[in-house]
Structure 1
Amino acid sequence: MKVALSVHGVFHSFDLARELYARGSLAGILTAYPRFKLRAEGLPQELIHTFPLIHGAYRAFPWRHRIGVSWERQWERLDAMSFAAYVGRNLPSCDVYVGMSGTSLPGGRRAHRMGARYICDRGSSHIRVQDRIEREEGELWGLPAVGVDPRVIDAEEAEYAAADRITVPSGFVYRTFLSEGVAPEKLRKLPYGVNLSRFGPDGAPAEGRFDVLFVGYFYLRKGVSCRPLKRSSIRPKA
């Protein structure tokens, strides 16, 4: 069995790709990351297909969050659509296609035309639940309730409908899909693994010191904001 993957960035898809390659099952992985950033991923270059033109420019532009919500959304939309179209044109022959949500629908349709199975890999809550969380957190932080781009919601739900299966990483995410009416037989919960050899203590904390480490995307959906606020402004409203 041969499995093809696509991912807009890197995320856990390259870990999956390495495991598939070790078992002789990787047909290829498509990504919007530039090739020079993938040299340490431990995969043969001929199995990595890149389309970094739009995504690379977006990531390299340091003031992209200051150009206004409307313009930023347009850029993000162009980025996602261009990569999705690239996947739809260049998906290698495979038995199973696993595409990260948000950019996998053209690849999923191509996979079906080839007689392959299409798995939508969703690493977060159902997109409509994500939209509600972002709006609620924005209200708690006193920020404009922007939410998710409606075009992104439509694209994600089209992927959910077209996919043969949807993989999710946790019980919380699984429950959000059930709450939005997705049939349980379409869902598969696959918690992420970790390579323990890459992590380990390199010292001991100073005596009497207490630090808090946050590891994740610095965003309202994670309960944090890029803007410093007074303590009173983050209290939940009655």
Structure 2
Amino acid sequence: MKKRKYLLNSAGKFHHFEIGKELYKKNQLSKIISGYPWFKLKKEGIPKRFVVAHGLTRVLREPIAKLKSFKQIDHFLNINAHKQIDKITSKIIDKDYEIDVLIAQSKCGLESGKNIKSKGKFYVCDRLSTHIDFQNNILQEEYKSLNLEYTPIKKWYLDREREEYEEADMILVPSNFNKSTFGDKLNDKVKVIEFGVNNKIFFRNENIKKSNTYFDILFLASKSVRKGLHYLIEAFKKFKHPNKRLHVVGSKTSDNHFYEKKLQQENIITYGHVNHLKLNDLINTCHAYVLPSIEEGFAYTILEVAAAGCPVIVTENTGAGDFVRRSNCGFVVPIRSINSIVDKLTLLADNKILLKELSLNAQNYSKENNWEKYLKKLESLINEKLMIN
């Protein structure tokens, strides 16, 4: 049986380069198109001849992306970037007749998806999160509850994604929570594959000892309302421990003004960008990872911290609920529940045997989530879909 050839596109890097590496190893990669410049992609392990780097817009957006006064220009550039990636992808489809499957990140695949389907091939819309309408509604609700101004998702993005969902042969999402937001109409089309993790980068380093004096908590995500950082800060205040520390690692967002004063507390340590090597070391020093997201796809960081043996406390809306329950590597709490976070932190701080058990479970189970298995499951789902059709 002939191996399928895949064409991938992505507005950035995300998990697509991990899939691309597996496809390249198996001689199944046609090309991967990215909205990043080559200098940000050359360490990803895929030879340049297989990568189309369309990063000019990304470079132009970088200095203005977080500035409110330039928001309209940033939106214009972002929309244009998605259109260009879609256009480039479509041109490659016209040139390479051996391509069997297009995996296009949502917003980047409308025209190229139609094009590959017109040639009798398969179009996968890769949605990294919940249905875009669900995302828009729950974030609007959250900002309103905090008396913060919310910038709704632009009509272009909403219309674009809705049309892609209808057009796609398959909609790929990383969690059952994501799938549940798509409703009955699209249910048969939406398929779930959990992300993998690179165990060579994130692992338990036995040379690094966790503190016996301090109880170290980690937050690893952008400092945003969407990630629920404000709930963790409030939980940290209520958490009764004589030597507690909260490590907040992540980039600033347009919500920075909301978090600036909240983060200026005793025993809250903030970081900017941390490279993978130092990040793995930091994870290894922490006793618990908390991610109280309001809305998410499947927070990749949960797999990374689990691989390094750090128990997790996450909301169902992180998309990782199934993984956490199946692996028994931590706790799943309701969104917006400060007391639930406090209760679980207290339980871990008071029970070293439980802490160690969850840590070992996290390390062992994360080894099962790798990118080779991801690709095998993807091939299997495509086979099933083609047989049904």
* TM-score > 0.5 by shorter chain: yes
1:174 to 165, 175, 179: 179
The answer on 1:36 being equivalent to 2:67 is no
Aligned to 1:215: 220
Aligned to 1:90: 92
For 1:75, give the aligned amino acid.
Answer: L
Residues 9, 32 of structure 1: 8 Å contact kept: yes
For 1:21, give the aligned amino acid.
Answer: Y
Aligned to 1:46: 49
The answer on 1:140 being equivalent to 2:117 is no
Residues 133, 221 of structure 1: 8 Å contact kept: no
2:122 to 117, 121, 126: 117
Q: For residues 137 and 105 of structure 1, what CA distance do their matches in structure 2 show?
A: 30
Q: For residues 138 and 71 of structure 1, what CA distance do their matches in structure 2 show?
A: 23
Structure 1 pair 115/218, CA: closer, same or farther in 2 (3 Å)?
A: farther
2:111 to 98, 106, 113: 106
Aligned to 1:159: 164
The answer on 1:228 being equivalent to 2:233 is no
Q: For residues 221 and 190 of structure 1, what CA distance do their matches in structure 2 show?
A: 23
Q: For residues 129 and 20 of structure 1, what CA distance do their matches in structure 2 show?
A: 32
Structure 1 pair 28/63, CA: closer, same or farther in 2 (3 Å)?
A: closer
Structure 1 pair 193/57, CA: closer, same or farther in 2 (3 Å)?
A: same
> Following TM superposition, by how much is the alpha carbon of 1:79 offset from its aligned partner in structure 2, in angstroms?
2.5
Aligned to 1:70: 72
Q: For residues 163 and 99 of structure 1, what CA distance do their matches in structure 2 show?
A: 10
> Following TM superposition, by how much is the alpha carbon of 1:54 offset from its aligned partner in structure 2, in angstroms?
1.2
Give the TM-score of the pair, scaled to structure 2: 0.55
Count of residues in correspondence between the two structures: 230
Structure 2 unaligned residues grouped into runs of 5+: 230-254, 263-335, 338-389
Structure 1 pair 154/98, CA: closer, same or farther in 2 (3 Å)?
A: same
> Following TM superposition, by how much is the alpha carbon of 1:63 offset from its aligned partner in structure 2, in angstroms?
5.8
> Following TM superposition, by how much is the alpha carbon of 1:139 offset from its aligned partner in structure 2, in angstroms?
1.2
Residues 131, 182 of structure 2: 8 Å contact kept: yes
Residues 34, 52 of structure 2: 8 Å contact kept: yes
Deviations 1:132-173 (A, max 9, x none): 121012112221132211110000111101000001100110
Q: Which moved more, 1:88-97 or 1:98-107?
A: 88-97
Q: Which has the larger radius of gyration?
A: 2
Q: Which moved more, 1:119-128 or 1:91-100?
A: 91-100
Aligned to 2:155: 150
Q: For residues 185 and 109 of structure 1, what CA distance do their matches in structure 2 show?
A: 20
Identity %: 28
Residues 58, 64 of structure 1: 8 Å contact kept: no
RMSD: 2.2
For 1:189, give the aligned amino acid.
Answer: V
Aligned to 1:23: 26
Q: For residues 63 and 21 of structure 1, what CA distance do their matches in structure 2 show?
A: 33
Residues 4, 97 of structure 1: 8 Å contact kept: yes
> Following TM superposition, by how much is the alpha carbon of 1:184 offset from its aligned partner in structure 2, in angstroms?
2.0
> Following TM superposition, by how much is the alpha carbon of 1:8 offset from its aligned partner in structure 2, in angstroms?
0.7
> Following TM superposition, by how much is the alpha carbon of 1:64 offset from its aligned partner in structure 2, in angstroms?
4.0
For 1:86, give the aligned amino acid.
Answer: I
For 1:168, give the aligned amino acid.
Answer: V
Structure 1 pair 208/172, CA: closer, same or farther in 2 (3 Å)?
A: same
Matches within 5 A, 1:170-209: 170-178=175-183, 181-202=184-205, 203-209=208-214
